Amino acid sequence: MKFLQSILLLGVTAAATAAGQTSMINFKHLEHLTERIAFLGDSVDIVHVYANYPTYDWVGAAESGMEGIACVDDAARAAVMYLRHYELMKTRSSLMKGKALLSFVLKMETDDGMFYNFIHTDHTINTTGRTSFKSFGWWGARAVWAMSTGFRILSSSDREFAGRLKNGIERTFPHIDSLLLHYNESGEMHGYRVPQWLLYGSGADVTSELLLGLVDYYSVTREKRVKAMISKLADGLMMMQDGHIRTFPYGAHRSWQTMWHMWGNGETQALAAAGRILKNRRMIESAEREVTGFYTRLLIDGFKKEMNLADPSISLEYEQIAYGVRPMCVGLIRLYEATRKIEYLKMAGLAASWLLGNNVLHTAIYDSATGRCYDGIRDSASLNRNSGAESTIEALYALVELDRYPLAMKYLSFRKTKKQLTSRYLLAVFENSRSEQFTLAVDLMQGNFKLLEGRASDKFLNHLK
C-alpha cells in the first residue's frame, strides 16, 4: 500500500512538473542553511554543513573532531547549482546567491592557489583540520569548478567579478601543471592500470570535478594550455575505465585505485562535457561505454555505495545518498547533449527518480514542499532523516538540470516493479501511476541495451514467457 501511495502521489507531482504547471525546485531549506556573514573584509554567504531531524537547526561538522560550521566544499557546489539556475531560468536572486557564495570561496584561496576548507564558529579559518588543511585536492577542485562556472556565466555581464574569478582560477594552474608532470606514468594494482597524474594519484572522482571547471574556463578563453590540461586529465579518467557491456566491470570508471564508489563519481559527466567542447569522440564514447554497460545495471539491479573491483565480494550497498545520484543523472544529461540520443534523457529522469521514491524504501528522499533532501538511505529498512547541505544541494542541482527537459521529468514518476535475468537479457520493468510501462533490458548476447515502452514493452515481455 505504501509503495502504491508513493507512486500515485509522486506521479501526480512529476506529471504536473513535466507539463510546466509547477516546479519541484524549492530553495527554502538551502536558504535556511545559508548565512550572510562579514568575512575577511567582505560580505559573503556560507552554507551550514548539517541540519538534523526533527528541528533541522544548524549543526557543526564533527566527523573529524570539530572541523567547523561551513566549508568550501558546500559553498562551491551550491554556487554551481545557483548559477546554473540563473543561467537557465534568468532568476536574479539565484545570481546574487551564487556570487555571494563565490565571494566566500575566493576568500578561502591562498596566494599560492591552494584552499582551506572550513571556518570555525567564530568565522576564523580552520587551518589544521584533517578536511580543512591548505591543499589543492577535493575542496580545491570544487572551488575551480565553481569559479569557472561563474567566470563562464558572468564573463560578458559582470567583467569585474569575472576577472576576480579568472585570477582565482589561474592561481591554481601551477598545481595542475605539477600533476601533469607525471602524464603517461602509470602503475598496476591487482591487474588494473592506475594513472599517476590525477589528483591523489588516481583520484578520477575528484579530478572529474576539476575537469568540469576547466571545461567551463576553456569555453570562454579557448586557451591552448587549458585545452591540453583537459585532454591529459581526460586521458587519466579514461585509463580508469574497464570492461564492456558484457564483461565486468561493464565500463565503469573506477573512482580511485581499484575502488568504485557511487558518490561523486562524475567521470561520465566530465567526459561528456569535455568531449562535446573539444569535439573528441573518444571521450564521448568512454562516457557512453559506462552508461550502456554500467549505468543500465545500476538502474536495473539497484544503486550501490561502493565496491572493490579487484575483489567484487568487497561491496557495500549502503549508505545511498543524493551525491551518488546527481553525477549519474547530470552525466546522462550531458551525454544526451553531446549525442542527442533521447534514451539518455529518459535514463536521467529514471536515475533521479530515486529521489522521489524509486528506491528500496519506496520513500521520497527529496521533499519539494520544504526543499529538504534527506541525508540518505542507511540500510534496507531505515532512512537518515537529517538534511544537511551536501544532500540538499546535490538533489537541487539534479532537479535544476532536469527541469528544462520535460521528457526527462516524465520518468521521475516511474518505479521499478520487476527485475529478471534470462539466458539473454538482464531487465527491469518500470511503471507509473497511470499504469504506463517501460522495460530497460541489457542484451547480453548482442552487447547493447533496449528501452522499450508501451506496446513494444508488452510485446517484448510476452515474447520472454
Name the 3-class secondary structure at 315.
strand
**For 158, left (φ over 0), alpha (ψ -120 to 50), or beta?**
beta
- The pTM score is 0.94
pLDDT given at position 15: 40
Radius of gyration of the chain (CA): 21
> What is the Cα–Cα distance from 137 to 264, expressed in whole angstroms?
14
CA distance 434 to 446: 32
Picking from 348, 394, 353, the residue whose alpha carbon sits closest to that of residue 375 is 394
Ranges of the chain whose pLDDT falls below 50: 1-21, 64
Quick one: residue 278, left, alpha or beta (phi over 0 = left, psi -120 to 50 = alpha)?
alpha
CA angle at 233 for the pair 203 and 285, rounded to the nearest 5°: 100
For position 428, what pLDDT does the model report?
Answer: 98
Grid cell for residue 386? 537529517
Strand partners, 306: 261, 316
Q: Which three cell numbers stand for residue 83?
A: 548559477
Please give the grid coordinates belonging to residue 390. Answer: 551536501
Amino acid 79: pLDDT: 98
Task: For residue 89, give the 3-state DSSP assignment.
Answer: helix
Continuous H helices in 279-341: 281-290, 296-301, 322-339
Backbone φ and ψ for 323, nearest 5 degrees, come out as -70, -15
Distance CA 314, CA 399 (A): 32
